[in-house]
Amino acid sequence: MKRQMNFLSDMRGFSTTFDVLIFLVLISIAAVILLPTITGNIQIRSVIDSKSQSESTRTLTTILNGRVDEFEYTIAGEQLDTIAGPLNDSSVYMAGKKLILGRELKHKVFSDLAAEDAAAQWVIYHNGQRIQLNILLTNYTSSLDNAMKEYLDRQLGDRYSYNLTVVWRPIVNAPLGSDIRIGEQVPDSAFVETAYITMPYKTDFSRERVKMIVNESFNTTFGNISSTFAYLKTDASNRTQIEAEISQEIFDSINSTIDEAVVILMDETLVPVIDEAQDAVAGQINNLLPEGGNGLIGRINETIMTILDEEGIFVNGSLSDTLKSYLKDTAKQDTRTISDREIRSLVTELADMYVNDVMTLEDVNDNIITEVFSRVQINRAEVTLSIWERRS
């Protein structure tokens, strides 16, 4: 009995237990206090990110569908100002330039203005240089830049920085197209939205035409696409050779597509656009310049040819013929260099899927035509809007 009483009077074990319980309670209380703060910061950050992404989506949609009440530009405005020299400040000259070569557009949608500007520029990208062929419409670009910057500043206010880019590359890997770039350099933290706008060209270069090109170009040792792939199932020992021939025929189809696309692009779009601008200048500025418009056009064309020659682009014949030859050769070379491994991998994948009955011959044909057709994007341009919060 005495031994039992001594045991009950020793409270050290209970004291240690209470210390542990109190310690756990303190940790729980700290967690309860800190948890809302920790999760709250994540939630707030998530809300901010979601709002910023939503803002970029909304703004891009608004820009593409927004209307400009009045938009003005002058054909050959910058070139005329350079030639006029001290007469630039003359009210008579300014009024005459606006009256004769000024253009005013009303209630145009921003996406239409951007597409028309992209369609009118015609830029050659060579050795890091940007050579605009249709320099008679540089004033259109500068006027559009100002209008879109003003609109973006009004939409986004002081909270967001932005960058708006419109890029048109009618033939993939060909150094020809146009670009509009407004805003600051884009950081990694920016929210990015991309859309496509339709170009104001009506070129007859459809998927059906590409299908015809592929069928006409495809001729391996084993026949057309269908017979070549069918042969894979009967003789797997020749697979390496068969895949190499298929890859080559796809490149041949791409080359034929590029040749036709370049001719159509030049004859139906570039040449008429530049000729129209030059005709407008030559026929209407005789009252502004003593030598008349033809002298200015001659100097502009000579300047372009000189620039191309200095950049190593062999000038042979007319500007149109020179560009056709240059674009065809460059696009083919770049396509082969950039896409060789990609196309070989595609062929191996198609062969695997067909041999294993995952794909039909019709599916194989469709995939090859899609691959070739993807090299031409004459009728659309890509618009990208990036926004990010300004640093305080």
**Is the pLDDT at 277 greater than 80, yes or no?**
no
Contact 74, 139 (CB under 8 A): yes
**Is the pLDDT at 34 greater than 80, yes or no?**
no
**Is the pLDDT at 36 greater than 70, yes or no?**
no
Helix (H, G, I), strand (E, B) or coil at 193: strand
Burial 292-309 (b: 16+ CB within 10 A, else e): ebeebbeebeeebeebbe
- 335 compared with 128, residue with greater pLDDT: 335
Average model confidence (pLDDT) across the chain: 78
Determine the Cα–Cα distance for residues 177 and 169; give it in Å rounded to an integer. 5
pLDDT for 20 = 62
- 329 compared with 59, residue with greater pLDDT: 329
Determine the Cα–Cα distance for residues 334 and 339; give it in Å rounded to an integer. 8
What's CA 361's distance to the chain center, in Å? 33
**Is the pLDDT at 299 greater than 80, yes or no?**
no
Helix (H, G, I), strand (E, B) or coil at 164: strand
Determine the Cα–Cα distance for residues 48 and 46; give it in Å rounded to an integer. 5
Among residues 146, 191, 183, 140, which one has the least CA distance to residue 165? 183
Element housing 377 (H / E): none
**Is the pLDDT at 161 greater than 50, yes or no?**
yes
- pLDDT-derived band of residue 7, with 50, 70 and 90 as boundaries? very low
Work out the average pLDDT over 321-326. Answer: 83
**Is the pLDDT at 213 greater than 90, yes or no?**
yes
- pLDDT-derived band of residue 30, with 50, 70 and 90 as boundaries? low
- Segment 307-318, tens digit of pLDDT: 777 767 766 667
Work out the average pLDDT over 150-161. Answer: 82
- Segment 359-389, tens digit of pLDDT: 999 999 999 999 999 999 888 999 998 988 8
Domain range summary for the chain, segments of one domain joined by +: 59-200+381-389, 207-375
Helices (H), the chain: 2-9, 12-65, 77-84, 91-101, 110-121, 138-156, 207-217, 225-234, 239-265, 271-284, 293-310, 319-355, 361-373
pLDDT for 130 = 86
- Segment 222-257, tens digit of pLDDT: 888 989 998 888 877 888 999 999 999 999 999 999
Work out the average pLDDT over 295-302. Answer: 66
Work out the average pLDDT over 163-190. Answer: 90
Work out the average pLDDT over 328-349. Answer: 92
**Is the pLDDT at 48 greater than 50, yes or no?**
no
pTM to 2 decimal places: 0.72
Work out the average pLDDT over 182-189. Answer: 89
- Give the amino acid at 131: I
Determine the Cα–Cα distance for residues 342 and 347; give it in Å rounded to an integer. 9
- 355 compared with 135, residue with greater pLDDT: 355
